[in-house]
A and B are shown apart, each in its own frame.
Chain A
Amino acid sequence: MKPHTLSVLVENKAGVLSRVTGLFSRRGFNIESLAVGPCEIPGMSRITIMVIADDNKIEQIMKQLNKLIDVIKVSDLTDNERVERELALIKVTAEQGSSRAEIMQVATIFRASIVDVSPKSLILQVIGDSDKIDALETLLRQYGVKEFVRTGTIGILRGSKTVAPGK
């Protein structure tokens, strides 16, 4: 069992996300993360799905996804050179004093930016792969993480190869 990154090109229609996620739950697959948005082709959306399963299960889930009428293309990016990114916003308790300075140092190390400052808290924005975001959140826990929200991973192939309609 290893994490797989699936890139799914779909029709941008009502109910499509529900068809896709319904298929995962129905067949007993857990979605680690999912991110969706419109893409370069008018009327289509791209979904990036992270899922942990063995190769046979992944093959079956890709075949089942392909059977959905509104799914145009399914690609497993896992064994390809790719760029993966996730964005997270972390609201940390930061009273005036030394902890505030420490948090800002940690943010610098992670190249996170501070997007909101209030007397009792800071909001950090961090971009990276999932491991980096996990690491930052773990470090910040000692100061008190009040709220943690992440977008889910999006992925794209390196070089000129694309996940596009057609064979």
Chain B
Amino acid sequence: MKTGAKILVESLQREGTEIIFGYPGGVVLPIYDELYDSSLRHILVRHEQAAAHAADGYARASGRVGVCLATSGPGACNLVTGIATAYMDSIPMVALTGQVPTSLLGNDAFQESDITGITMPITKHNYLVKETADLSRVVKEAFYIAGTGRPGPVLIDIPKDVSTTSVKDVPVPEKVELRGYNPTYHGHKRQIEKALNLIAAAERPVIYAGGGVILSNASAELLSVATQMGIPITTTLMGLGAVPGDHPLNLGMLGMHGTEYANFAITECDLLFAIGVRFDDRVTGRTETFAANAKIIHIDVDPAEIGKNKRVDIPIVGDVKSVLTDMLTCMKKTAGHEAWIKKIRHWKQHHPLKCPDDGRLHPQFVIRQLSELLDGNGVIVSEVGQNQMWTAQHYCFKHPRTWITSGGLGTMGYGLPAAMGAHFARPDVPVFDVAGDGSIQMNIQEFGTIAAEKIPVKIAILNNQYLGMVRQWQELFYDRRYSFTELPAVDFVKIAHAYGIEGIRVESPDEVKPALQAAIDCPGPFVLDFRVEREENVFPMVPAGAAINEMIGGHPR
């Protein structure tokens, strides 16, 4: 006989879980009691939201399923933002929540909330387990659903009596079989042939690659396809790192804050090869003018993404890695599109990203210095806003899974807890959270976690005493009426010291490199408070609803 709590812990271990991020409470006491002498590592966060983001950051950096745990009611509700963040970016995660005993379900009991109802629209699937005997099967199914097809978060709600009840050992099924869930992995052969013919006939092809390439671990295949066929690549925010930032075919990011040359290339291409992307509004701008003269090929594992926002000529439903591998085997080497690549090279030369050099401390400069110092050997996590966009633009990502950011939901406060999770996936390299002074204060209580657990995350705060991105929109579109976007100066170094974390303030460009080096050399966590130019803007910028070649803050054409 085994209790539900013991079955749960054993089931997690059977799935290869090595770490969970959580916060205890009344109805998860039986589970915490089981964790007390388990070999499963548990990290105690300071707020449940951080547990969800940490599990998510771990999943993104490792490619494995992240796990978080919270109690019922407020604990479960605090996971919601983290679950929604993972859902929007298709991150494999299993969220475990305690629930009031089954006898009290629906009774408005103390700390009861209908978390399966609440999370229905933001999970790939969720379970309310009512019988202890179902627990091992449900855990197995949850990991399978979370990690296969288009990945996503799965929530398991476990009433207290399900954890405490003992049952005879239930044999765990070898294979998960779900009648309603059969993801398509292999692309249709005829469609792949058609796509290859279309690419061969194209004069101005562009690859538009996204987070699907990272999730599918298909970076090598993507680069082979691009180099063998001579196709320039632009990536979405989520796709950064899929191809080396300094590769000659790489155009960087496209879209609202994309490079001018990426957006020009999309606008002028005659073939758009979309791989693991979803034609998000921040990417396409006005959809009618996005790649308006191009034929479109779209590979995605989720059939619902194909044709959702833009009509596609050749849809290929399948796993990106599998489809690209099939393409490579039947690919004939084509002409190198020399004229097109020459044109793009010209754009690259005449429309580079700008980094002001006037002796003052600019945030772009901080990111470039960090990029030089780490030279691809680190994991960069960001918060949301200007800090995120400057990092996406100016940091040279060289490997997949080294850029971790909340793309779809745009969750401020994501960075620090996600960086904690990323550290446990990649303890071998420095992990930086690039933050703004607004975002960092959304989960600043996690200073407590990194101090207590000695998690050597480096926090680089681009401190401009504004909610910078909103201020930028107010400057550009609301006549500089800075409505509730100014933040009083905070001494983050003092806050760090209060938690026993080292930190320094940086106020001039010449201090940047030594400060970053000091953070890297410090064996523990480190806070860098960069007092940057206050009203710096993220440029270029496509105003909402405009065509993506209609950028402001770029170079004259």
In whole angstroms, how far apart are the Cα atoms of A18 and B114 in the complex?
A: 13
Query: Once A and B bind, how many residue pairs between them come within 8 Å at the CB atom?
Result: 38
By Cβ-Cβ distance, the 7 closest A-B pairs, closest first, are: A63-B304, A69-B125, A72-B180, A69-B181, A72-B179, A71-B180, A26-B121
B124 within 8 A of A: yes
In whole angstroms, how far apart are the Cα atoms of A19 and B125 in the complex?
A: 10
Nearest chain B CB to A34 CB, angstrom units: 17
A63-B304, A67-B302, A68-B125 are known; give 4 further A-B pairs, CB within 8 A.
Answer: A11-B180, A23-B121, A56-B307, A69-B180
Q: Please state if A60 and B125 are interface contacts (CB–CB under 8 Å).
A: no
Contacts of A63 in B (CB 8 A): 303-304
Contacts of B304 in A (CB 8 A): 60, 63-64, 66-67
Chain B CB within 10 Å — which of A11, A63, A64, A69 has the most?
A: A69
B308 within 8 A of A: yes
12 CB-based A-B contacts, threshold 8 Å: A14-B128, A15-B128, A23-B121, A26-B121, A59-B307, A63-B303, A67-B304, A68-B180, A69-B124, A69-B178, A69-B181, A165-B179
Identity of the chain A residue whose Cβ is nearest the Cβ of B141 in the assembled complex: A69
Known contacts A68-B180, A69-B180, A72-B180: does B303 contact A22 (CB below 8 Å)? no
Contacts of B302 in A (CB 8 A): 67
A86 within 8 A of B: no
Identity of the chain B residue whose Cβ is nearest the Cβ of A22 in the assembled complex: B120
In whole angstroms, how far apart are the Cα atoms of A56 and B60 in the complex?
A: 33
B145 within 8 A of A: yes
A70 within 8 A of B: yes
Identity of the chain A residue whose Cβ is nearest the Cβ of B303 in the assembled complex: A63
Q: Please state if A18 and B120 are interface contacts (CB–CB under 8 Å).
A: yes
B: residues with CB less than 8 A from A are: 116-117, 120-121, 124-125, 128, 145, 178-181, 302-304, 307-308
Identity of the chain B residue whose Cβ is nearest the Cβ of A41 in the assembled complex: B179
Encoded as 1 (CB less than 8 Å from any B CB) or 0, chain A from 65 to 104 comes to 0111111100000000000000000000000000000000
In whole angstroms, how far apart are the Cα atoms of A121 and B124 in the complex?
A: 50
Partner of B121, one of A22, A72, A165: A22
Identity of the chain B residue whose Cβ is nearest the Cβ of A67 in the assembled complex: B304
In whole angstroms, how far apart are the Cα atoms of A60 and B279 in the complex?
A: 15
Nearest chain B CB to A26 CB, angstrom units: 5
In whole angstroms, how far apart are the Cα atoms of A165 and B125 in the complex?
A: 20
Contacts of A67 in B (CB 8 A): 302, 304
Nearest chain A CB to B129 CB, angstrom units: 12
The DSSP consensus for interface residues of chain A is helix
Partner of B179, one of A11, A15, A23, A64: A11
Known contacts A59-B307, A60-B308, A63-B304: does B180 contact A18 (CB below 8 Å)? no
In whole angstroms, how far apart are the Cα atoms of A59 and B308 in the complex?
A: 9
Contacts of A68 in B (CB 8 A): 125, 180
Contacts of B180 in A (CB 8 A): 10-11, 68-72
Nearest chain B CB to A4 CB, angstrom units: 17
In whole angstroms, how far apart are the Cα atoms of A19 and B180 in the complex?
A: 14
In whole angstroms, how far apart are the Cα atoms of A64 and B302 in the complex?
A: 10
Identity of the chain A residue whose Cβ is nearest the Cβ of B117 in the assembled complex: A18
Contacts of B181 in A (CB 8 A): 69
Q: Please state if B145 and A69 are interface contacts (CB–CB under 8 Å).
A: yes
Q: Please state if B120 and A19 are interface contacts (CB–CB under 8 Å).
A: yes
In whole angstroms, how far apart are the Cα atoms of A114 and B303 in the complex?
A: 49
In whole angstroms, how far apart are the Cα atoms of A59 and B311 in the complex?
A: 13
Nearest chain A CB to B124 CB, angstrom units: 7
Nearest chain B CB to A162 CB, angstrom units: 16
Identity of the chain B residue whose Cβ is nearest the Cβ of A15 in the assembled complex: B116
Identity of the chain A residue whose Cβ is nearest the Cβ of B180 in the assembled complex: A72
Contacts of A11 in B (CB 8 A): 179-180
Within 8 A of B (CB), among A1-38: 10-11, 14-15, 18-19, 22-23, 26
Contacts of A71 in B (CB 8 A): 180
Chain A CB within 10 Å — which of B125, B180, B307 has the most?
A: B180
Nearest chain A CB to B318 CB, angstrom units: 15
Identity of the chain A residue whose Cβ is nearest the Cβ of B152 in the assembled complex: A67
Identity of the chain B residue whose Cβ is nearest the Cβ of A167 in the assembled complex: B182
Nearest chain B CB to A53 CB, angstrom units: 14
In whole angstroms, how far apart are the Cα atoms of A36 and B116 in the complex?
A: 22
In whole angstroms, how far apart are the Cα atoms of A72 and B178 in the complex?
A: 9
Chain A CB within 10 Å — which of B116, B179, B302 has the most?
A: B179
Contacts of A18 in B (CB 8 A): 117, 120
Identity of the chain B residue whose Cβ is nearest the Cβ of A19 in the assembled complex: B120
Contacts of A15 in B (CB 8 A): 116, 120, 128
Identity of the chain A residue whose Cβ is nearest the Cβ of B183 in the assembled complex: A67
Contacts of A66 in B (CB 8 A): 303-304
In whole angstroms, how far apart are the Cα atoms of A69 and B303 in the complex?
A: 15
Nearest chain A CB to B39 CB, angstrom units: 31
Nearest chain B CB to A38 CB, angstrom units: 15
Contacts of B121 in A (CB 8 A): 22-23, 26
In whole angstroms, how far apart are the Cα atoms of A59 and B121 in the complex?
A: 19
Identity of the chain B residue whose Cβ is nearest the Cβ of A68 in the assembled complex: B180
Contacts of B116 in A (CB 8 A): 15
In whole angstroms, how far apart are the Cα atoms of A70 and B116 in the complex?
A: 14
In whole angstroms, how far apart are the Cα atoms of A72 and B182 in the complex?
A: 10
In whole angstroms, how far apart are the Cα atoms of A63 and B308 in the complex?
A: 10
Contacts of B303 in A (CB 8 A): 63, 66
Identity of the chain B residue whose Cβ is nearest the Cβ of A11 in the assembled complex: B180
Nearest chain A CB to B555 CB, angstrom units: 38
Contacts of A64 in B (CB 8 A): 304
In whole angstroms, how far apart are the Cα atoms of A164 and B182 in the complex?
A: 15
Identity of the chain A residue whose Cβ is nearest the Cβ of B178 in the assembled complex: A69
Nearest chain B CB to A65 CB, angstrom units: 9
Contacts of A165 in B (CB 8 A): 179
Nearest chain A CB to B139 CB, angstrom units: 15
In whole angstroms, how far apart are the Cα atoms of A60 and B116 in the complex?
A: 24
Nearest chain B CB to A54 CB, angstrom units: 13
In whole angstroms, how far apart are the Cα atoms of A23 and B120 in the complex?
A: 9
In whole angstroms, how far apart are the Cα atoms of A59 and B116 in the complex?
A: 27
In whole angstroms, how far apart are the Cα atoms of A165 and B177 in the complex?
A: 14
Contacts of A60 in B (CB 8 A): 304, 308
